[in-house]
Structure 1
Amino acid sequence: MGANAEWASRSRQMLDELGIIMINLIGSPGAGKTTLLERTIERLCGRLRVAVLEGDIETTCDAERLNALGIPVSQLLTGGGCHLEAKMIHRALCDLPLSGLDMVIVENVGNLVCPAEFDIGELAKIAVLSVTEGEDKPLKYPLLFHEARAVVITKTDLLPHIPYHLPLCLDNLKRVNGAIPVFQVSAVTGTGLEAWIEWLKGLSA
């Protein structure tokens, strides 16, 4: 952890000096992180200049999807590791056109546990939780929801079709982190995305 903390500090100092914010999206595989990123970047176009660091164990599928949006994207493959480390992030940042950016969004490896334990130099961890995962995730994996600056609940368009009790999930989130803002969004209908975008813009203000 000592070396990781040093690399995280280097990245944070570099980004602070350039006036760039970095956020770290963390969620399970299939939670909708990449789709949320696509809709987020589309709506930030013309508002903030964004780059993405895309973390995966293998394959470049998600990075290829994001490349189509015409923004700088760097693929980080862990080759089996369950999270991104600060040294990997720092090296990737140094390869980005930082002078032309306002925000870097990191999509961490799909996992609710390991990524929450590691500082990568970000301003904020964002927990991504889909309605298909069950209401108990905040209680089962409390560290992430305690450390996160916000929670995005995805796939809300599915709520009429699945046995998911949203008020119970919200209550569980409050039990872990009573002050955390929660954004309920649908990438399909666009519901809730503008509130999420405005919150993101506020981070860079």
Structure 2
Amino acid sequence: MCRVVDLRQAVLATNDSSARQLREHLAARSTVEVNLLSSPGSGKTALLELLLARAVAAGTAVAAVTADLATENDARRLARAGAPVKQVLTDGLCHLEAGMLRGHLDGWLPPGTRVLFVENVGNLVCPASYDLGESLRIVLGSVTEGEDKPLKYPTAFGLAHLVVVTKTDIADAVEFDAPAFHRNVQRVNPGVPVLSVSARTGAGVDELLDYVLARAEGAPVHHPVLAHRYRNAPHSHQGTGDEHPHTHDSPGHHAHPHTHAGEEKPGEPWPDDGPGSHGHGRAHAHHPSEGRPGPSARPAPAGRDGAARTS
């Protein structure tokens, strides 16, 4: 007897199952995961470095996972804040997935970590569609990207719990229309809070950190309306560069056809596959403190870090 299997639904179910298990494990550890999404060049790494440094200075146990297609430059920068940092190299994959992340956390995430920041791959299309088991999803948009960014990427902004405007210290220079940006955000995600920050001046960073820490203490988050529209609804992202159909099992998340490792049962410990193991078969990780650069790592050019911090 021939049986038809919908690969899209199967892959989606696998990712959602991994995300649920990861969320349960983190909750049992009293760890809040924060998924940071943005376009390349939004200043995400500069902002995260500042958040980590201020959290460490305040005595809050934080850690960070940063994902890139290649190089370990971001992990080296973030490690300067004094928090545990792990680099995940995706080798060309445009996003993280829950099984992949779960494998990298096992045996690495320090006990007592209150907040785990996950810096996703710089991309507002595919990463927006994957549940990573996060409790807080923050989408960043810089003033240099234009006021219509939320309308161009409605899935990313529409599923955010919080929207952050970055590089506000140069808003006047680039003639950023803040009211228009806020209106566009509310069009795709009614009621979502919006914070404005500048990693260069430090404006708004403490407010953002307070928001994250409040979530770690159990404060409620915004519930995107768009999440309910995505449940079990096949669709395609016309005009976003992600024009292929997907079906949904949980709010706001869909999957692409990638293969995953087997699933663990809820309540069981993470599989002990050793450091750098994962459920995807492509990404690998490296600890900056280990002194063993991965095959894709290259030293940052002189002065690059200093320039990047001004973002």
Matched, 1:16 2:27: yes
Give the Cα–Cα distance (whole angstroms) in 1 for the partners of residues 140 and 109 of structure 2: 27
Deviation digits for residues 121-155 of structure 1, max 9, x if unmatched?
11121101100000101011111111110011000
Q: Which residue of 1 aligns with 2:281?
A: none
Q: Which amino acid aligns with 1:38?
A: E
Give the Cα–Cα distance (whole angstroms) in 2 for the partners of residues 165 and 122 of structure 1: 31
Matched, 1:35 2:46: yes
Q: Which amino acid aligns with 1:5?
A: D
Alpha-carbon contact 2:53-2:83 (below 8 Å) kept: no
Give the Cα–Cα distance (whole angstroms) in 1 for the partners of residues 166 and 81 of structure 2: 21
Give the Cα–Cα distance (whole angstroms) in 2 for the partners of residues 40 and 86 of structure 1: 24
Deviation digits for residues 40-73 of structure 1, max 9, x if unmatched?
1122122421110101011100001111222111
* Aligned pair partner of 1:61 in 60, 63, 73: 73
The 10-residue stretch of structure 1 (14-23 or 160-169) with the greater mean CA deviation from structure 2: 160-169
Q: Which residue of 2 aligns with 1:198?
A: 210
Alpha-carbon contact 1:72-1:96 (below 8 Å) kept: no
Q: Which amino acid aligns with 2:146?
A: G
Give the Cα–Cα distance (whole angstroms) in 2 for the partners of residues 102 and 150 of structure 1: 19
Shift of 1:25: 0.2
Give the Cα–Cα distance (whole angstroms) in 2 for the partners of residues 3 and 147 of structure 1: 20
Within-5 A mapping of 1:127-146:
127-146=139-158
Matched, 1:120 2:132: yes
Q: TM-score, normalising length from structure 2?
A: 0.64
Shift of 1:163: 2.3
- Other structure's SS at 2:144 match: coil
Total equivalences in the alignment: 205
The 10-residue stretch of structure 1 (68-77 or 131-140) with the greater mean CA deviation from structure 2: 68-77
- Other structure's SS at 1:101 match: coil
> Aligned Cα RMSD in Å?
1.0
Within-5 A mapping of 1:128-167:
128-167=140-179
Within-5 A mapping of 1:68-147:
68-147=80-159
Alpha-carbon contact 2:141-2:165 (below 8 Å) kept: yes
Aligned sequence identity (%) = 43
- Other structure's SS at 1:161 match: coil
- Other structure's SS at 1:98 match: coil
Alpha-carbon contact 2:39-2:123 (below 8 Å) kept: yes
Deviation digits for residues 8-32 of structure 1, max 9, x if unmatched?
1121110011110001000000001
Matched, 1:169 2:189: no
Matched, 1:4 2:4: no
Give the Cα–Cα distance (whole angstroms) in 2 for the partners of residues 200 and 3 of structure 1: 28
The 10-residue stretch of structure 1 (88-97 or 181-190) with the greater mean CA deviation from structure 2: 88-97
- Other structure's SS at 1:153 match: strand
- Other structure's SS at 1:11 match: helix
Q: Which residue of 2 aligns with 1:188?
A: 200
* Structure number, greater radius of gyration: 2
Q: Which residue of 1 aligns with 2:191?
A: 179
Alpha-carbon contact 2:32-2:114 (below 8 Å) kept: yes
- Other structure's SS at 2:26 match: helix
